[in-house]
Structure 1
Amino acid sequence: MARWGLRHLNRLQEALVPHRNAPLTETGRLRLARCVVDDGWPLRRAAERFQVSHTTAARWAGRYRTLGVAGMSDRSSRPHHQPARTPAVVEAEILRLRREHRIGPLRLAVLCHIAPSTVHRILQRHGQPPLACLDRATGEPVRRYERARPGELVHIDVKKLGRIPDGGGHKALGRAAGSPNKDRLNGAGYAYLHTALDDHSRPAYTEDLPDETAPTCAGFLIRATAWFAGQGITVERVLTDNAWAYSKNTWRQTCHDLGISPRWTRPWRPQTNGKVERFHRTLLEEWAYHRPYTSDGERMEAFADWLHWYNYHRPHTGIGGHTPASRGTNLAEQRT
């Protein structure tokens, strides 16, 4: 019993070693095996020297004699015979459904009458990426890109957001009580959040504007360019969708006056402008719908603090957990 416990303790220690040069990684195993095979050490002496059991020392010495250095690597724990493995016909059907319909493990499990965990393992075994990494229209892996320097490309888009009546809307009061408050709104019932986001460093500049007409979009571009210039970023290109305002001569002339080259996404392909689209999703989750607000003014007051936090303090997973400020030319010096 004691020998069994020591053997399994040694295996556990081997699995938990933190770096390649620790004992009984590939390097440690090779040293142990060479002491026994090449230098003629007794097994028990080598086991004591490397703080492992006699059985462990014998195993690595035996593999070294048979396979050499290649035998020091870990082997798969998969059994040689798997009588309960999913039949190849079922696996082929799962892959066909995945390829043709692009659906996840749960729906595939229902269609094929097996467990979702089994479907997940089959997809992993055949190298199928998660659906989030695929383009739904084509089924091809999403090609991610990033510009080499700040300002080389700035994404611009507009998010239309319903305004909150004084006293609160349905999120604060419930739909029955919140609906009558809609009558208290004056003018348009929507806020138009115009956003410019740098492709490389990811800082965002956003304004709440009354509409998305060509003059409004052009004015926003002028102010956004000035804001980026204040951060040490010179805007070279802007990328927008094919909305009416961005196709007018007003937009083209403003870009020309600012020395900016305009670019447009392919029709019906919002993924091309995906960075600013993802920012708007984050904006909704972490600010607009983060808590119930009692008025539109209260929500907009909270926006400035949220945007500052996003630019200077929030870790961004798309850039390795860094903040947008850490990637900008001068953004890190603007923190106050």
Structure 2
Amino acid sequence: MLRHDRPQDTRMNYPHQNARTKPLGRAEIVRRIVEEGLPVAEVAAGFGISERTARKWLARWRAEGASGLQNRSSRPHAADDEAGRFWREITACLRREYRLSGEEIAVRLGFARSKVARWLTRIRLGSLAALMPQEPVRRYQRERPGELIHLDIKKLARFAGVGHRITGNRRGASEGMGYDFLHVAIDDATRLAYVEVLPDERRGSTTGFLIRALRWFRARGIRVERGMTDNGAGYIARLFRKVLRMLGIRHIRTRPYTPKTNGKAERFIQTLLREWAYAIPFPSSERRAANLPRWLAWYNHQRPHGSLDRRTPVQALAGTT
């Protein structure tokens, strides 16, 4: 009879939750194969394991005796050593200095591509973007109200019921209802904001919004000197540029594909979506639009702004006039 020794350190010998056999069962598998001479495949089928697993326990028993049937620690046999760190440093150097791909590095160093890929992932050099120097953060803020206003547009889908963002159910979604277009104007120095919901972003809408926004700022003592926009069709239209020129306002356009240039408008739109558009389960897009003036008044008069030393936009305006 095969002897089954009780494990000494039970902390290291708990089987994993999906284990088909435990040390006692493994000993029985070996006994049936060795002492009773039963076929390995038959014994494995009786225990609900594969023939390969049964042969694994048989080989361990023959090599180590009863101790080979115990559970083993999942700790790697070989820990990281100085040589491993050395080759990772060489890999990082080849990646940074010569911009070699993982496959090229593997060929040069004689390692498997999968190993080099793991190293590059670990040191966060797997993508080409990681090799590009990070552009420094450029923060600016105009000193005078009206010295620069940021203009931007955000498209929001119209709906006739509470959407999947709230319910989690996409059935019965309001499809084919079109879009609302949020036209945004925000003063760089004070973060004072003016917003309208319009049906489109064409030149007539963008130009009309510009005129109403300028009047709104003017009513609060702000004379606009410059306006920053992206390169949207409504903003580069001849009508829009003509109105700016007639009013003596300098038009500043962002570089293509660099929305961070107009970052204050982009950041305000994020706040607008998070704290207004998606904050309340509005029953319809019309009710959402009707709620905009209330939220905008709260933003301008009551919401403290981190970049304004926790002042509201209205307080910042009062401190600069």
| TM-score computed with the length of structure 2 as normaliser | 0.59
Q: Give the secondary structure class of the aligned counterpart of 1:178.
A: coil
Call closer, same or farther: CA 1:147–1:111 in 2, change over 3 Å.
farther
**Alpha-carbon deviation of 1:252?**
1.3
Superposed CA deviations along residues 212-257 of structure 1, whole A, max 9, x for unmatched, are 1111111101000000011111101100011111112101111122
Q: 1:316 aligned to 305, 311, 319, which one?
A: 305
Task: Find 2:225's aligned residue among 230, 233, 236.
Answer: 236
1:45-56 matches, cutoff 5 A: none
> Within 5 A, what are the aligned runs for 1:1-336?
111=119, 139-165=134-160, 167-179=161-173, 181-182=174-175, 185=177, 189-329=178-318
Per the alignment, do residues 226 and 96 of structure 1 end up closer, same or farther by CA in structure 2, a change over 3 Å counting? Answer: farther
Deviation at 1:315, TM superposition (A): 1.6
CA distance 1:113–1:206, change in 2 (3 Å): closer
The 1-side partners of 2:93 and 2:158 are apart by: 46
* Matched letter for residue 301 of structure 1: A
Q: Report the secondary structure of 1:220's partner residue.
A: helix
CA distance in 1, matches of 2:139, 2:131: 15
- Relative to structure 1, the CA distance from residue 172 to residue 262 in structure 2 (aligned partners, 3 Å threshold; closer, same or farther) is same
**4+ aligned runs moved over 6 Å, structure 1:** 87-100
How many Å separate the matches in 2 of 1:236 and 1:96?
51
Which digits, 9 at most, give the CA deviation of each residue in 1:67-106, with x for residues without a partner?
xxxxxxxxxxxxxxxxxxxx79878978998998xxxxxx
| Per-residue deviation, 1:153 | 0.4
Which AA in structure 1 matches 2:169?
R
Change (3 A) 1:112 1:153: same
Shift of 1:292: 2.1
Change beyond 3 A, Cα 1:251–1:90? same
Looking at structure 1, the residues matched to 317 and 276 of structure 2 have their Cα atoms a distance apart, in angstroms, of: 23
Structure 1 SS opposite 2:175 = helix
State the distance in 2 between where 1:156 and 1:257 align.
18
- Structure 1 counterpart SS, 2:215: helix
CA RMSD of superposed structures (Å) = 3.7
Aligned partners of 1:232 and 1:329 also within 8 Å: no
AA at the equivalent of 2:144? R
Asked whether the equivalents of residues 88 and 119 of structure 2 are also in contact (C-alpha less than 8 Å), the reply is no
Distance in 1 separating the partners of 2:93 and 2:182: 42
Rg larger for: 2
CA spacing shift, 1:255–1:301, aligned 2, 3 Å: same
Is this contact kept in 1: 2:96–2:131, CA < 8 A? no
Query: Which residues of structure 1 form unaligned runs of 5+?
Result: 1-86, 101-109, 120-134
Q: Residue 177 of structure 1: SS of its match in structure 2?
A: coil
Q: What does the per-residue CA deviation read over 1:160-191, in whole Å, with 9 as the maximum and x for residues that have no partner?
A: 111122x3333344434332x436x4xxx101
* Structure 2 Cα separation of the partners of residues 273 and 213 of structure 1: 20
Report SS of the residue matched to 1:215: helix
- Contact 1:148–1:200 (CA under 8 A) maintained in structure 2: yes
Change (3 A) 1:145 1:97: farther
- Paired residues of 1:231 and 1:330 also in contact (CA < 8 A): no
Take 2:199 and 2:94, find their aligned partners in 1: how far apart are those partners? 49
SS at structure 1 position matched to 2:251: strand
Distance change >3 Å, CA 257–CA 293, structure 1 → 2? same
Identity %: 43
Shift in CA distance, 223/98, structure 1 to aligned 2, threshold 3 Å: farther
CA contact (8 A) 1:195 1:207 kept: yes
